[in-house]
């Protein structure tokens, strides 16, 4: 009973962690960008979705759709206003681009968070659940919304995998993550591919934000913690590795759930961090990362 | 030293030190308080720049070192030690912790060093919260002693410490050790081929950075009467330090002080616009980084060739 | 030195001088009009927003009646981002730069505790609109001469616990025949004394405490906590939460946790709570200052109307406490005939005033909770409210609020369970 | 000055493996004080690996390395450096943010944490060394503003400052003019006179022949010859490695008369890398259907030329494709326009399968065309059919090269640029590759621009030949004339 409860509970939360981290790791793998405004983009999507759903009667589905759209817009703004100017700047040496992108996205993330605080207050909001009601699995009561979220997360991850492995643009994205120069030599414009990746990223981050808001609730003040959580998972799984991120999401999700159930809710974040430290020392490239 | 004569730096420094020294003559207690905090942040920023700008290591965890110093000193003070000993003790704890972190972490290349330092902060945060009975958790830990309750005296402590730390850190950066550090940061293989033990020098840089971070953290604790997570350990503080250095000019050591004063002072001056002050300050810093990537001091001191 | 270098050097010096000159102002000449009151709170937080609104309203009312000793009152508002460091800086600015004569501040104990030593050092009458940690008053009690400038404008945690137990006896034991309870509290400074006192008084009120869960205020997933509580099979959950609120409520609702929630849920006191939880709040019970339509004193309803007129909304309870706190300060200044801190403090201690939430007075030097608000049926008790169909409905004290309790379908009281 | 009896550097049985690849196998070499040993071999022969292992940048799998009798195999680099080994890297590695003087001073500093002040004699010595290598006039400048030769001087100065017993020099003359080469030869000669042991690593015998006492030739990780420069140049294995045996030409009937407008027309192209001139006034043209080879040693500028054509590096001058200038077009647009480069680094998608690599090349073709093109290519390179489901990174070097060529051909290029297809390949593979090219030439109308240092490979596949040397075209003509005029002097 307790075991089943842990199993079910951990599954949904891990799926959500996974969805949040997949976009983050894809972005790094293909574009080489560690976007520290990640949490900000998730939250702006969540808050925008909640706002139109609650104040303009868009309903849960309309709200979710608009939230995802806002996520895409925010992703483009991040790319055009922060990333591209840094990548094109002649004054920034190539070896230092990384720290500039980190600092730039960090600042942009702070601006998003503070701006959202101003507009929406820092009170957490919850999207209306897409489904209400609970079902019983064995003796465990499970909200239908939780099941829907897990299903949605995995569907989107599955769609992404289909896109990458079965479509032409997907192959280009995969190829760009392996060898961008070769792709140029084959006549593909990298800038177009990057634009597609930023779009996918916006959809993933936006959807993760909206689902998070409907499952656990979201507020602007969560932005930093959400970035940190995606970051932790991606490092654990291996920078740039999508399957690694999914595995890591489940490790973190279950480590947290097990701790919360079996030890104490207060200690929830600790084991994941300890696992992370051990992995970084023994295998700095992460579980499935390549050097 | 023809290089020094050509540079406007000494003049600028002299004016700034004189202005800073004379500040209590015409600033009221409130602004002295702001500068006091800004000066401690300036030391944090200089210590960080020594690691980043010179040894080439991005340390996302300056607040790990600051936190060790602050909480170390606070715990000792609560244990009955006199304040000056506590400050020294906090700094020693910070150095020990910093070296214990750096020695294994420096084996890692690329972004992984930075990640370990980041995780170190997260762990420290969690431990402070878990051992709330001793550390005060998220509220912060009260300490029995304070440096002084006079704003002017506190200002002098901070200013004096800033000047001493600035002279030492800037001197180090311009010394033989600074040159070697630059070499280890720019080209590890070349530095080794020239006979330098890269790890030894980087650990040394980490220890110096830890020493000043820890000292500043401990002194800030005794200035405020509390060691607090959200002012000394939280990641947002690390962010502020990094932004201060990037804004003021990385690799200049002193630029971090300018950046810190900018961040603290303008955040404060913009307080009348309410909660949006942070938005504006972050926006300005972002613009500086995008369009003026060498930072304020980096621009002023940029080497001008051929004249 | 080359031309370019000289110019850049000059620009840098200028930058430094402007930075210093910009902040250099001659010490303001002592000007007695108007009297300034500092407000330190986070505007982004709903409880903080209400503190600011309440203070504005109070100042407008007092000024309309001629001000204090002939001086108009003026508010200076500072946003502390709910951070102790920002609050300390704002406090220093308020006292040393803006020369306020009193400060009303924050609802977060941690932040207020950081201000307390500064109130002592800078000798500034300071009152909190809602911070509840018992450490606040304990410091005043233990070192009165130093900390006497600090007041608590709401009930301290152990007294809040007493109110919880008193109401629980009436509501849960007598009316719903409950026998057991689980405590569920965030790990924060104000809940430590709250939990200790509740653990002591709940059994006396007739509720056996069968489980006690404390959790990190950063928690977002409450499923494990509810599961553990459910496993202990209590009749009611007594909450002690304020940093969190929306998330546990929504998850309680979505997961159909069959146990009613009562106690303290700071965010649920906010009139927007129904909207931010999409109605998941239905059935949640919490202590608060007052709710719409309840006349705790002759002032309550008229001030509430003013709020709705000024801001469009009914305020959170901090709106009322902050309104009253400003009046407490103003009346003390009026009586003292000056803004001298020691005189004002002496007068504040003598406060005997009809406020919006009850009859106001402070505990004295000899009492345990020195400078906290007096609790009791004749003083202030607060009320207990329940969210019913989008409305905040007052359900306790029963003499003023005889409304019935209503729970959502998934919640089972002991009788309903017995019937099944 | 002093002829030491004891060898200063003595390497025995040195072996270094990278995964499955044996980069250096059982290498022995000995250098005494006052002696210069040339270590030569084509790219990928393992000579640089040997040098890096001696310096401790890579750890050896087996073998001993003695410096004046002490075995230092496996020591960290900085201790090896302190033992008296200095290195001059092929690519200059100055500290770009420090002045020339500071760069030299750095090399003179002790490895100490506590000597904070720079001792006065360091300054003096740094200036003296700068004078000696000819940097006296630029002491206050920063490296990015220096001309290429001065950067190389700076490397020499740093090596000198370390006062090493053993000096390792990688490709000392790459990118230098004849005059500069003479100056550097003189500097290296001085090392010998001072009694140091010098290891010169280079990829051809000619450039170091006058300087060295002995030469050790390597190929594919193994020692193939050792002796005086003349002996090594006469060695049949060395000749086969460099020339592939006798130069043979495949005279093909002249193309139909009056070829008309060239397909690709390059006029006076200049490329600068920082201060180094990588191409100087290069002009060449390629007509439709032609096979043109650009031959030249490593570092001559072949790759730079191809990258300029493909739009990957900025250049001055004019590159026209079917009459219109290419300047301003993106690299990808140029590739789509029909100029497809198959680079020397191959640039495969290592984690994708052979099939997927090919598909990416043919993505813009209609499905049936794609299918036909793939079938034709798999006929040309049958081994790729067997490997279709294998990841590209698991292929052997030869297979990878074939895949790279096939992937480029999937795009149905008008002009195929092949850069060093023979790099690091075994002779048997060369033959297969050569056959494929012949087939290509005889059965299709594709135009090919081939860059090679292996003349024997290049000649049979060339209608015309350009020779690049030190970033300039020094010769052009047809294959028959090349064999007659240049063949002997090439090595």
D97 vs B187: CB contact, 8 Å cut-off? no
Query: C2 in a domain, yes or no?
Result: no
Chain C residues within an 8 Å CB radius of B31: 23-24, 97
Q: Where are the domains of chain D?
A: 7-243, 264-485
Residues 6+ apart with CB under 8 A from D56: B192, D72, D74, D75, D76, D77, D79, D80, D81
Residue pair B255/B172 in contact by the 8 Å Cβ criterion = no
Give the single-character DSSP code of C349. H
pLDDT band at A291 (very low <50, low <70, confident <90, very high): low
Split into its structural domains, chain C has a count of 2
Instruction: Compute the Cα dihedral for A268, A271, A277, A282 and give only its sign.
Output: negative
| Residues C338 and C277 reside in one and the same domain | no
Give CA–CA dist D96/D105, Å, rounded.
Answer: 14
Residue pair A208/A214 in contact by the 8 Å Cβ criterion = no
Q: What is the CATH number of the domain that holds C262?
A: 3.40.50.2300
C224 vs A220: CB contact, 8 Å cut-off? no
Say yes or no: A7 contacts chain B, CB-CB below 8 A. Answer: no
Fold equal for D7-243 and D264-485: yes
B193 vs D111: CB contact, 8 Å cut-off? no
Would you mind telling me the total number of residues written for chain C in this entry? 420
Strand order in the sheet with C150-152: C73-79, C35-41, C102-105, C126-128, C150-152
Q: Which of A13, A124, A135 is the best residue to mutate to test the C interface, defined by the most C CB atoms within 10 Å of its own CB?
A: A124
Say yes or no: C14 contacts chain B, CB-CB below 8 A. Answer: no
Which chain A residues in 211-270 lie under 8 Å from chain C, judged by CB atoms? 216-217, 219-220, 222, 225, 256-257, 260-261, 265-266, 268-269
Residues 6+ apart with CB under 8 A from D445: D288, D289
A184 vs D349: CB contact, 8 Å cut-off? no
Split into its structural domains, chain A has a count of 1
Query: A61 in a domain, yes or no?
Result: yes
Give me the residue label for tokens 């010859």.
Answer: D225
Give CA–CA dist A27/A24, Å, rounded.
Answer: 5
Q: In terms of residue numbers, what domain contains A66?
A: 2-282
User: Do chains A and B have 3 or more beta-carbon pairs under 8 angstroms?
Assistant: yes
CATH class of the structural domain D264-485: alpha beta
- Over residues C331-339, the mean pLDDT reads 93
| Residues C151 and C173 reside in one and the same domain | no
Residue pair A154/C82 in contact by the 8 Å Cβ criterion = no
Chain B residues within an 8 Å CB radius of C1: 5-6, 8
Query: C164 in a domain, yes or no?
Result: yes
pLDDT value for C264 = 94
Chain D residues within an 8 Å CB radius of A188: 332
Give CA–CA dist D328/D311, Å, rounded.
Answer: 8
How distant is the Cα of D72 from the closest Cα of chain B, in angstroms?
14
Is D7-243 a CATH 3.40.109.10 domain? no
Say yes or no: C383 contacts chain A, CB-CB below 8 A. Answer: no
Give CA–CA dist C317/C287, Å, rounded.
Answer: 10
% chain B with pLDDT above 90: 33
Give me the residue label for tokens 């480590």.
Answer: A255
Give CA–CA dist A208/A212, Å, rounded.
Answer: 6
Q: Which of A90, A181, A182 is the best residue to mutate to test the D interface, defined by the most D CB atoms within 10 Å of its own CB?
A: A182
- Kindly provide the ipTM of the predicted complex, given to two decimals: 0.80
β-strand pairing of D464-469 with D472-478: antiparallel
**A170: which 2 tokens?**
């997907």
Give CA–CA dist C125/C346, Å, rounded.
Answer: 10
pLDDT in tens for each of the 491 residues of chain D? 444 457 899 999 999 988 767 888 899 999 998 899 999 887 678 888 899 999 999 899 999 999 988 899 889 999 999 999 999 987 778 888 888 999 999 988 888 877 777 777 888 899 999 998 888 888 888 887 787 788 888 988 998 898 899 999 988 887 677 778 888 888 899 988 999 999 999 877 777 888 899 999 888 888 888 888 888 888 888 777 665 544 455 545 555 444 567 889 999 999 887 666 788 899 999 998 888 999 887 677 888 999 999 999 899 999 999 888 998 899 999 999 999 999 988 899 988 999 999 999 988 888 899 999 999 999 889 889 988 898 988 888 788 899 999 999 999 999 999 998 887 676 677 788 888 888 888 888 889 999 987 777 888 888 888 988 878 888 888 877 877 776 555 54
Query: C405 in a domain, yes or no?
Result: yes
Is pLDDT at B4 greater than 90 in this prediction? no
Give the single-character DSSP code of A128. P
Q: What is the CATH number of the domain that holds A161?
A: 1.10.3470
pLDDT band at B139 (very low <50, low <70, confident <90, very high): low
Query: C210 in a domain, yes or no?
Result: yes
A9 vs C270: CB contact, 8 Å cut-off? no
Quote the distance between the C-alpha of residue A151 and its chain's center.
16
Query: A136 in a domain, yes or no?
Result: yes
Indicate the pTM of the whole model. Answer: 0.83
Q: Where are the domains of chain B?
A: 2-234
Residue pair D79/B200 in contact by the 8 Å Cβ criterion = no
User: Do chains D and A have 3 or more beta-carbon pairs under 8 angstroms?
Assistant: yes
| Residues C64 and C175 reside in one and the same domain | no
What's the first-to-final CA gap in chain A, in angstroms?
A: 42
Query: A291 in a domain, yes or no?
Result: no
How distant is the Cα of A284 from the closest Cα of chain B, in angstroms?
6
Chains that touch C (3 or more CB pairs under 8 A): A, B
Q: In terms of residue numbers, what domain contains C107?
A: 35-156+297-360
Query: A26 in a domain, yes or no?
Result: yes
| Residues C163 and C264 reside in one and the same domain | yes
A106 vs B243: CB contact, 8 Å cut-off? yes
Give CA–CA dist A239/A233, Å, rounded.
Answer: 9
Query: A288 in a domain, yes or no?
Result: no
Q: Which of D53, D54, D77 is the best residue to mutate to test the B interface, defined by the most B CB atoms within 10 Å of its own CB?
A: D77
- Which of B162-176, B278-292, C149-163, D1-15 has the least mean pLDDT? D1-15
Give CA–CA dist A144/D324, Å, rounded.
Answer: 64
C16 vs B275: CB contact, 8 Å cut-off? no
| Residues C270 and C413 reside in one and the same domain | yes
Residue D333: Cβ-neighbour burial (10 angstroms; 0-12, 13-18, 19+)? middle
Which chain C residues in 8-67 lie under 8 Å from chain A, judged by CB atoms? 42, 44-46, 49
Query: C68 in a domain, yes or no?
Result: yes
Residues 6+ apart with CB under 8 A from C103: C37, C38, C39, C40, C91, C94, C95, C115, C119, C124, C125, C126, C127
Residue pairs spanning A and D at CB distance below 8 A: 60
Which among B17, B38, B34, B27 has a CA at the least distance from the CA of B247? B38
C-alpha triplet D196, D198, D201: angle, nearest 5°: 170
Say yes or no: B103 contacts chain A, CB-CB below 8 A. Answer: no
Is pLDDT at B115 greater than 80 in this prediction? no
């Amino acid at each position: 009973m307790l075991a089943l409860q842990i199993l079910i509970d951990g599954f949904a939360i891990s799926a959500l962690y996974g969805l949040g981290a997949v976009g983050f790791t894809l972005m790094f793998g293909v574009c080489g960008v560690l976007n520290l405004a990640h949490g900000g983009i998730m939250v702006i999507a969540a808050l925008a979705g909640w706002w139109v759903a609650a104040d303009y009667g868009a309903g849960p589905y309309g709200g979710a759709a608009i939230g995802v759209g806002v996520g895409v817009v925010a992703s483009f703004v991040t790319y055009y206003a922060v990333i591209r100017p840094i990548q094109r700047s002649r004054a920034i040496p190539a070896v230092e681009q990384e720290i500039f992108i980190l600092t730039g996205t960090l600042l942009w993330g702070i601006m998003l968070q503070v701006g959202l605080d101003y507009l929406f207050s820092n009170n957490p909001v919850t999207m209306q659940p897409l489904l209400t009601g609970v079902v019983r699995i064995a003796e465990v009561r499970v909200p239908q919304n939780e099941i829907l979220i897990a299903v949605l997360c995995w569907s989107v991850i599955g769609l992404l995998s289909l896109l990458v492995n079965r479509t032409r643009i997907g192959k280009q994205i995969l190829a760009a993550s392996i060898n961008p120069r070769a792709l140029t030599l084959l006549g593909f414009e990298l800038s177009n591919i990057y634009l597609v990746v930023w779009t996918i990223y916006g959809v993933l981050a936006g959807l993760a934000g909206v689902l998070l808001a409907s499952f656990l609730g979201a507020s602007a003040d969560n932005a930093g913690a959400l970035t940190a959580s995606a970051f932790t998972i991606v490092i654990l799984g291996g920078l740039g590795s999508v399957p690694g991120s999914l595995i890591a999401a489940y490790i973190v999700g279950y480590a947290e759930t097990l701790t919360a159930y079996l030890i104490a809710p207060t200690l929830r974040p600790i084991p994941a961090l300890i696992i992370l430290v051990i992995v970084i020392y023994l295998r700095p490239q992460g579980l499935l990362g390549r050097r | 030293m023809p290089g020094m004569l050509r540079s406007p730096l000494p003049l600028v420094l002299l004016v700034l030190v004189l202005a800073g020294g004379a500040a209590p003559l015409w600033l009221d207690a409130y602004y002295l308080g702001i500068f006091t905090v800004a000066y401690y942040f300036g030391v944090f920023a200089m210590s960080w720049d020594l690691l980043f700008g010179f040894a080439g290591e991005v340390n996302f965890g300056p607040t790990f070192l600051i936190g060790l110093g602050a909480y170390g000193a606070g715990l000792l003070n609560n244990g009955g030690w006199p304040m000056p000993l506590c400050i020294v003790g906090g700094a020693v704890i910070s150095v020990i912790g910093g070296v214990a972190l750096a020695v294994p972490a420096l084996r890692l290349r690329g972004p992984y060093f930075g990640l370990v330092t980041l995780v170190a902060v997260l762990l420290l945060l969690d431990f402070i919260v878990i051992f709330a009975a001793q550390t005060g958790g998220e509220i912060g830990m009260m300490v029995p002693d304070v440096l002084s309750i006079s704003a002017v005296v506190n200002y002098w402590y901070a200013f004096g410490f800033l000047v001493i730390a600035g002279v030492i850190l800037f001197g180090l950066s311009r010394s033989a050790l600074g040159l070697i550090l630059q070499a280890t940061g720019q080209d590890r293989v070349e530095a080794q081929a020239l006979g330098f033990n890269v790890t030894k020098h980087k650990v040394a840089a980490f220890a110096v950075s830890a020493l000043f971070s820890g000292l500043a953290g401990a002194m800030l604790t005794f200035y405020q009467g509390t060691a607090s997570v959200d002012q000394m350990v939280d990641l947002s503080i690390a962010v502020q330090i990094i932004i201060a250095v990037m804004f003021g000019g990385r690799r200049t050591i002193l630029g971090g002080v300018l950046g810190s004063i900018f961040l603290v002072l303008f955040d404060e001056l913009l307080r009348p616009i309410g909660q949006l002050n942070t938005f504006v300050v972050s926006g300005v810093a972002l613009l500086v980084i995008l369009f003026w990537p060498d930072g304020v001091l980096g621009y002023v001191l940029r080497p001008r060739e051929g004249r | 030195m080359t031309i370019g270098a000289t110019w850049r050097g000059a620009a840098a010096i200028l930058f430094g001088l402007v930075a210093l000159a910009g902040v250099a102002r001659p010490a303001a000449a002592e000007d007695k009009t108007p009297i300034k009151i500092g407000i330190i709170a986070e505007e982004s937080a709903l409880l903080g927003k209400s503190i600011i609104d309440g203070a504005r309203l109070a100042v407008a009312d007092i000024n309309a009646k001629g001000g204090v000793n002939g001086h108009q009152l003026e508010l200076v508002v500072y946003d502390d981002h709910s951070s102790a460091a920002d609050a300390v800086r704002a406090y220093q600015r308020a006292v040393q730069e803006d020369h306020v004569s009193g400060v009303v501040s924050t609802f977060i104990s941690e932040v207020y505790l950081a201000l307390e030593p500064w109130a002592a050092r800078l000798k500034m009458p300071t009152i909190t609109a809602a911070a509840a940690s018992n450490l606040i008053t304990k410091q005043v009690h233990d070192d009165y001469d130093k900390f006497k400038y600090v007041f608590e404008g709401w009930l301290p945690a152990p007294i809040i616990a007493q109110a919880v137990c008193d109401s629980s006896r009436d509501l849960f034991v007598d009316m719903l025949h409950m026998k057991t309870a689980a405590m569920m509290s965030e790990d924060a400074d104000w809940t430590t004394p709250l939990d200790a006192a509740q653990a002591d008084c709940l059994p006396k009120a007739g509720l056996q405490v069968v489980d006690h869960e404390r959790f990190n205020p950063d928690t977002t997933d409450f499923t494990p906590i509810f599961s553990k509580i459910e496993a202990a099979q209590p009749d009611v959950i007594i909450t002690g939460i304020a940093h969190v609120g929306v998330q546990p409520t929504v998850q309680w609702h979505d997961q159909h946790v069959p146990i009613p929630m009562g106690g303290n849920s700071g965010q649920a006191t906010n009139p927007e709570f129904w909207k931010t939880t999409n109605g998941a709040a239905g059935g949640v019970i919490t202590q608060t200052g007052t709710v719409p339509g309840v006349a705790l004193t002759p002032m309550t309803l008229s001030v509430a109307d003013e709020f709705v007129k000024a801001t469009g909304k009914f305020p959170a309870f901090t709106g009322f406490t902050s309104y009253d706190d400003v009046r407490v300060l103003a009346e003390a200044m009026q009586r003292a005939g000056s803004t001298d801190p020691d005189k004002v403090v002496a007068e504040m201690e003598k406060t005997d005033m009809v406020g919006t939430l009850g009859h106001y007075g402070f505990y004295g030097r000899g009492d345990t909770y020195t400078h906290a608000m007096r609790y009791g049926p004749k003083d202030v008790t607060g009320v207990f409210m329940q969210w019913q169909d989008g409305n905040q409905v007052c359900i306790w004290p029963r003499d003023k609020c005889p409304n019935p309790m209503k729970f959502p379908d998934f919640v089972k009281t002991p009788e309903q369970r017995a019937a099944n | 000055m002093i002829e030491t009896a004891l060898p200063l550097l003595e390497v025995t049985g040195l072996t270094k493996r990278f995964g499955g690849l044996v980069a250096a196998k059982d290498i022995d070499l000995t250098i005494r004080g006052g002696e210069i040993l040339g270590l030569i071999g084509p790219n990928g022969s393992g000579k640089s690996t040997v040098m890096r292992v001696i310096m401790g940048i890579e750890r050896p799998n087996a073998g001993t390395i003695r410096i004046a009798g002490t075995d230092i195999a496996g020591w960290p680099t900085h201790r090896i450096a302190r033992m008296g080994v200095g290195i001059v890297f092929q690519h200059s590695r100055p500290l770009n943010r420090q002045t020339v003087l500071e760069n030299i001073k750095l090399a003179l500093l002790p490895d100490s944490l506590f000597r904070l002040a720079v001792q006065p004699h360091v300054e003096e010595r740094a200036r003296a060394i700068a004078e000696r290598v000819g940097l006296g006039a630029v002491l206050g400048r920063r490296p990015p503003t220096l001309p290429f030769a001065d950067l190389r001087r700076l490397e020499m100065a740093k090596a000198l400052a370390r006062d090493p017993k053993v000096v390792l020099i990688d490709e000392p003359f790459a990118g230098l003019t004849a005059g500069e080469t003479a100056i550097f030869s003189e500097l290296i000669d001085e090392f010998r006179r001072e009694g140091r042991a010098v290891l010169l690593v280079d990829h051809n015998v000619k450039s170091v022949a006058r300087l060295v006492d002995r030469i050790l030739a390597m190929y594919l990780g193994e020692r193939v010859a050792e002796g005086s420069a003349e002996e090594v140049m006469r060695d049949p294995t060395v000749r086969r490695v460099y020339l592939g045996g006798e130069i043979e030409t495949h005279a093909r009937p002249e193309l139909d008369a009056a070829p008309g407008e060239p397909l690709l027309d390059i006029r006076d192209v200049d490329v600068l890398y920082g201060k180094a001139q990588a191409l100087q006034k290069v002009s060449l043209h390629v007509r439709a259907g032609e096979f043109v080879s650009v031959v030249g040693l490593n570092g001559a500028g072949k790759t730079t030329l191809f990258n300029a054509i493909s739009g990957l590096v900025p250049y001055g001058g004019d590159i026209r494709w079917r009459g219109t200038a290419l300047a301003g077009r993106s690299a990808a647009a140029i590739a789509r326009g029909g100029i497809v480069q198959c680079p020397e680094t191959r640039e495969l998608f290592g984690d994708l399968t052979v099939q997927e690599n090919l598909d990416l090349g043919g993505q813009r073709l209609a499905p049936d065309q794609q299918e036909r093109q793939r079938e034709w290519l798999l006929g040309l390179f049958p081994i790729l059919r067997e490997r279709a489901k294998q990841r590209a990174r698991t292929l052997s070097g030869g297979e990878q090269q074939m895949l790279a060529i096939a992937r480029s051909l999937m795009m149905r290029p008008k002009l195929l640029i092949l850069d060093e297809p023979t790099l690091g390949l075994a002779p048997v593979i060369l033959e297969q590759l050569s056959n494929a090219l012949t087939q290509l030439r005889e059965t299709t109308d594709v135009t090919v621009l081939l860059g090679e240092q292996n003349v024997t490979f290049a000649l049979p596949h060339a209608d015309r030949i350009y020779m690049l040397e030190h970033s300039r075209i020094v010769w052009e003509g047809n294959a028959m004339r090349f064999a007659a005029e240049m063949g002997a002097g090439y090595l």
